[in-house]
C-alpha cells in the first residue's frame, strides 16, 4: 500500500507530531493526500525546547494545523520510578492525552510516525500504541528511515537530515528516579554541546556523573574543546567521562 492509498481510505486523521524526521514526513504526506488532518504536539519535560521549535517551524512551512498539548509526565509515579518498561507507561500517558484531544476535535483515528525500520519486537512503547489502536502508516506502507529521509529531501522538508533524538529520559539508567532537575541539567548540557557544533551525541546520567558519547569522528573535537566542556558540564555533574566506545 502507498501512503496516498492509505489516506484515500482514511481521509481524516489526527497525527502525533514530534517534529522529528518521521512524523514530519507523515504530516507532510497527510496534508498532501488527506482531506482533514491536525497535528498534536505533546509538550512535556522529556522533550527539549528545540523539538517544539522544530515542530512549529515544520507545521508553518507546510501550512499544517497544529495543537500543543501540555502534559505533566512526571505526575505519573510509575514513569518517575523509571522501570524497564517505563516507555510503556509514558506512551500510555502521552497518547492518552492525544486521543482525548483528537476525539474532542472529532477525530476517530490517531496516527504516529513509527517507520518500517523500527524494530517492534517486545518494545514497551509499541505495546502501548497497539493497545491504544494507534496506526503507523509509514510502517504499514513499508517506508524505512532511509527512504523517509530521501522523500523528505525531495519534498524540501528541513527535517530530512535531522539527527535522531530520543527523549531526555533515555539518558537516565533504568531504576534511577527521574527528576525535573536531572532532565533540565541534561537539556542544558546537551544544548551547550550542540552550540559547539557536536551532533548525534548523548550525555548519560550516572549517579550524578556525566558519560559523554559522541561519534568517533568527533572525539578529537571533544579533546580540543575539553576545557570549555568541563567548565560548562561541571555546573551540572560531579565529573565528566568520555565513552571511548563512541556512538555508531
- Residue from 167, 129, 139, 165 nearest 21 by CA: 165
Full domain range(s) for residue 200:
179-242
Identify whether 208 is part of a domain.
yes
pLDDT the model gives residue 247: 80
Same domain for 94 and 140?
yes
pLDDT at 124 over 90: no
Residues listed for the chain: 248
The answer on pLDDT for 121 being more than 70 is: no
Same domain flag for 211 and 151? no
pLDDT digits (tens, 9 = 90+) for 47-96: 999 999 999 999 999 999 999 999 999 999 999 999 999 999 999 999 99
Give yes or no: residues 43 and 92 share one domain: yes
Which of 135, 161, 187 is the endpoint of a domain?
161
Domain final residue, candidates 161, 194, 220: 161
Tens of pLDDT along 146-156? 999 999 999 99
**pLDDT value of position 190:** 96
Q: What are the strands, taking DSSP E only, across the chain?
A: 12-16, 36-43, 65-70, 110-111, 202-206, 209-213, 240-242
Question: Does 248 have pLDDT greater than 80?
Answer: no
pLDDT above 70 coverage of the chain, percent:
98
Cβ neighbours, 10 Å, residue 226: 12
Same domain membership, residue 56 and residue 106: yes
Across the strands, what pairs with 135? 111
E strand or H helix at 163? none
- Per-residue pLDDT at 215 exceeds 70: yes
The reported pLDDT for the residue numbered 4 is 94
Question: 3-class SS at 131?
Answer: helix
Q: Is residue 172 part of a domain?
A: no
Sign of the CA dihedral 114, 216, 212, 50? Answer: negative
Residue with cell 505526575: 75
Do 120 and 187 share a domain, yes or no? no
Domain count, the chain: 2
Residue 53 lies in a domain: yes
Rg (CA), the chain: 19
Q: What local confidence, expressed as pLDDT, does residue 109 receive? A: 97
Whether residue 248 is contained in a domain is answered as no
Q: What is the CATH number of the domain that holds 91?
A: 3.40.50.620
Are 42 and 156 part of one and the same domain? yes
Mean pLDDT of the chain: 94
Question: Of 67-71, 98-102, 114-118, 189-193, which range is least confident?
Answer: 114-118
Residues 93 and 209 in one domain: no
End-to-end CA distance of the chain: give it in Å, rounded. 32
Using CB atoms within 10 A of its CB, is residue 219 exposed (0-12), middle (13-18) or buried (19+)? middle
Confirm whether 171 is domain-assigned.
no
Q: What is the pLDDT of residues 95-112, one digit of tens each?
A: 999 999 999 999 999 999
Nearest to 58 by CA among 144, 156, 195, 146: 156
Cell of 139: 510502517
Amino acid at each position: 500500500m502507498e501512503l496516498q492509498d492509505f489516506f484515500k481510505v482514511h481521509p481524516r486523521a489526527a497525527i502525533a507530531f514530534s517534529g522529528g524526521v518521521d512524523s514530519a514526513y507523515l504530516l507532510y504526506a497527510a496534508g498532501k493526500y488527506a482531506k482533514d488532518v491536525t497535528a498534536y504536539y505533546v509538550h512535556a519535560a522529556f522533550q527539549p525546547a528545540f523539538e517544539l521549535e522544530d515542530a512549529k517551524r515544520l507545521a508553518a512551512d507546510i501550512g499544517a494545523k497544529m495543537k500543543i498539548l501540555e502534559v505533566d509526565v512526571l505526575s505519573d509515579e510509575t514513569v518517575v520510578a523509571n522501570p524497564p518498561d517505563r516507555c510503556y507507561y509514558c506512551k500510555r500517558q502521552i497518547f492518552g492525552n492525544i486521543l482525548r484531544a483528537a476525539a474532542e476535535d472529532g477525530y476517530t483515528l490517531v496516527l504516529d510516525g513509527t517507520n518500517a525500520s523500527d524494530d517492534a519486537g517486545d518494545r514497551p512503547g509499541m505495546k502501548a500504541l497497539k493497545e491504544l489502536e494507534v496506526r503507523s502508516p509509514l510502517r504499514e506502507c513499508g517506508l524505512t528511515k532511509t527512504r523517509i529521509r530521501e522523500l523528505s529531501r525531495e519534498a524540501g522538508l528541513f527535517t530530512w537530515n535531522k539527527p535522531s533524538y530520543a527523549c531526555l529520559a533515555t539518558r537516565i539508567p533504568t531504576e534511577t528516579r527521574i527528576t525535573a532537575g536531572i532532565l533540565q541539567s541534561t537539556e542544558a548540557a546537551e544544548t551547550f554541546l550542540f552550540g559547539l557544533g557536536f551532533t548525534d551525541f548523548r550525555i548519560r546520567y550516572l549517579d550524578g556523573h556525566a558519560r559523554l558519547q559522541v561519534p568517533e569522528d568527533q572525539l578529537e573535537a571533544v579533546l580540543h574543546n575539553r576545557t570549555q566542556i568541563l567548565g560548562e558540564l561541571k555546573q551540572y555533574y560531579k565529573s565528566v567521562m568520555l565513552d571511548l566506545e563512541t556512538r555508531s
